[in-house]
Structure formats: C-alpha cells, structure tokens
Amino acid sequence: MTLILNILILAIHALVAWVLLEIFVNNAHRLGRKSYIFFHYICVIAAFAISFFVYFEYFSAFSVFATTSIAMVFVSLLELIVFGYLYSGDRWFLNYVDWIFPMFLSMSTIYFVGIVVK
C-alpha cells in the first residue's frame, strides 16, 4: 500500500505541474509565436521545478531517476488521454518545438531539481 501511495503522491505532483502549464498555454494565445515559445519553455521549467522541488523536499520516496521516469510516464499518459481522447481541435502543436522539446525540458528539470535537492 505504501508503494501505491508514494506513486500517487508523485502523480499528483506531475498533475499539478501539467495543470500549471496548461493554464499558461490556454491563456497565452495572444502572444506572438516567438514570445509564446520563449514563455512556454520558461513556464515548463518553472512549473516542473516548483512542483518537484516540493516533491523532493517533502515526499521523495524514489531515486531521482525513478522519480523522473515515473513522472514522465504520468505526464505522457495525461497527454495521451487529453489530446488523444478529449481534445477535438486541430493538433498542430504536437511537433518538436511545441511538444517534444518541452517534454525534454520537463524531464531534465525534474532530474536536475532532484539532483540539487537530494
């Protein structure tokens, strides 16, 4: 039961970071393309750094690598559920600049914060 609870706490931190990022994405449509990309990257780093700083400081139950891996599985599942089943619009943003590189940034940020905090 403890393992399930630890994974659930980790998943909640991934969800919080993802929701924070989605709030930015949904409100940033007025920005120009270059400004949007720049602030999108900054928000990815900030959201995941804040959420996983709290996780590593207070709840850390796994190694940094395992935490990063589990968190990215949950983020990927969120993306699959939302953009695969719930989102009905055009998926033009599922490209390297708007999706793949931000996923890399989020993964790197989780790992970096884990190394620094632990």
51 or 99, greater pLDDT:
51
8 A C-beta contact, residue 51 and residue 112: no
Residues in the chain: 118
Give the up-direction half-sphere exposure of residue 33: CA atoms within 13 A in the CB hemisphere: 3
Q: Which residue has the higher pLDDT, 82 or 50?
A: 50
Q: What is the pTM of this model?
A: 0.92
Q: Confidence class of residue 84 from pLDDT cuts 50, 70 and 90?
A: confident
Q: What residue ranges in 1-118 does DSSP mark as E strands?
A: none
In terms of residue numbers, what domain contains 59? Answer: 2-117
Say how many C-beta atoms besides its own lie within 10 A of residue 11's C-beta. Answer: 17
Instruction: Report the 10 Å Cβ neighbour count for 53.
Output: 17
Q: Tell me: the pLDDT tens digits for 24-62?
A: 988 988 899 899 999 999 999 999 999 999 999 999 999
Question: Can you tell me whether residue 94 is helix, strand or coil?
Answer: coil
> Max CA-CA distance within the chain?
48
Q: For residue 3, what are the contacts with CB-CB under 8 A and spacing of at least 6?
A: none
Residue 100 sits at the vertex; the CA angle it makes with 61 and 50, to the nearest 5 degrees, is 40
Q: Tell me what pLDDT residue 54 has.
A: 97
Q: How many domains in the chain? A: 1
Residue 13's pLDDT is 97
Mean pLDDT of the chain: 92
